[in-house]
Structures are given as structure tokens and as C-alpha cells.
Amino acid sequence: MPMRLAEPRRCLFCLCIGGESDVLPIISEGPATVSFVNPRQFEHGQALVVTRRHAPTILDLSEDEAAALMEAVRQTAHTLARAYDPDGMTVYQNNGVASLQEIPHVHFHVVPRRDGSPYALPPQISGISPAVTPPGVVRPPEELRATAAEIRAHAAAPLP
Ligand SMILES: [Zn+2]
């Protein structure tokens, strides 16, 4: 049986990739991937890494897309590490409504972590419904743009 997916009217990631929306400020772009600032900032600098092509889940990726996506995740993690010197880095990915994937366009969450943060686990994993995202977690657009600029300033350094 096919995996059940959320059904947004139009895909927010595709709108942002196509330049029709700037709700998700861009951190970096590659031939097959794009990294965004996540409007939900459970931790400051929380990012999303997506494929350019609208592939609903990880099961829909080609081998080349999967490799490009993981490399973009690695690069984004390095950029966030340089930008914030975090105590840890959480990387997670959800597929289908049963895993609380909200936007059915394959994406990874890359989250710089701080010791002592009250954000214990990603909401999808801890069972918190995205509908009850705590107030203040979704940051205003001007702050998200500033966060993207802050992260981009650390994007150019060569990787190990
Ligand atoms: Zn899409």
C-alpha cells in the first residue's frame, strides 16, 4: 500500500525553490538541493535541506539524489557548526503522515543543539503535534532573513 502523504494545495518548498515565496530564507543552493532556514526555530539556526525535485519521500529518490541530499546535509551541518559552535547537532527526517511529515517533499532537519536546551527531541519524534508548536518558536520573517545571512556568512569555508 502506498504511504499516506499530507496534501498541501501547493508545495511550500517548491514555491520557495521557484522564487514564488520567500517564507523560507535560503542558506545555500546546489544543482540538486537547497538549504533553508526553518521558520520553526526550536533551536537558533535550525535548518531544512531539500531536493530541488519534488520527491515526496526518501523512497522516491534516485541514488544520485540521495547522495546529493546527504552531502548537502553534511555541508549544512558544517556551516551551522562554524556559525554557532553548537554543543551537538541533531539530524532527522520523516516520511508519510504516520511519521508526521507535514510537507510531502523529502527533507532533512539539521539542528544545532545547546546543552541545557528545553528542546529535548524533535516534535515528530517526541510525539508533539506540529499543531501545538509552542508560542515563539515560529520566528518573524525579518528575523529568519537575518538568521539566513548569519549562517551564509559561514558557508564559504572549505570542508574537511
Ligand atoms: Zn515540492
Could you tell me the residue ranges of all domains in the chain? Answer: 12-152
Mean pLDDT, rounded, for 72-88: 97
Share of the chain above pLDDT 90, in %: 68
pTM value is 0.89
Return the minimum-mean-pLDDT range out of 20-34, 39-53, 122-136, 138-152: 122-136
Letter for the amino acid at 12?
L
Q: 12-152 belongs to which homologous superfamily?
A: HIT-like (3.30.428.10)
Measured in Å, residue 48 CA sits from the centre of ligand 1 at 13
- Give yes or no for a contact between 88 and 113, defined as CB atoms under 8 angstroms apart: yes
Cα–Cα distance measured from residue 20 to residue 83, given in angstroms and rounded to the nearest whole number: 28
* pLDDT confidence band for 158 (50 / 70 / 90): low
Dist. CA 147 → ligand 1 center (Å): 23
Distance from the CA of 104 to the center of ligand 1, in angstroms?
7
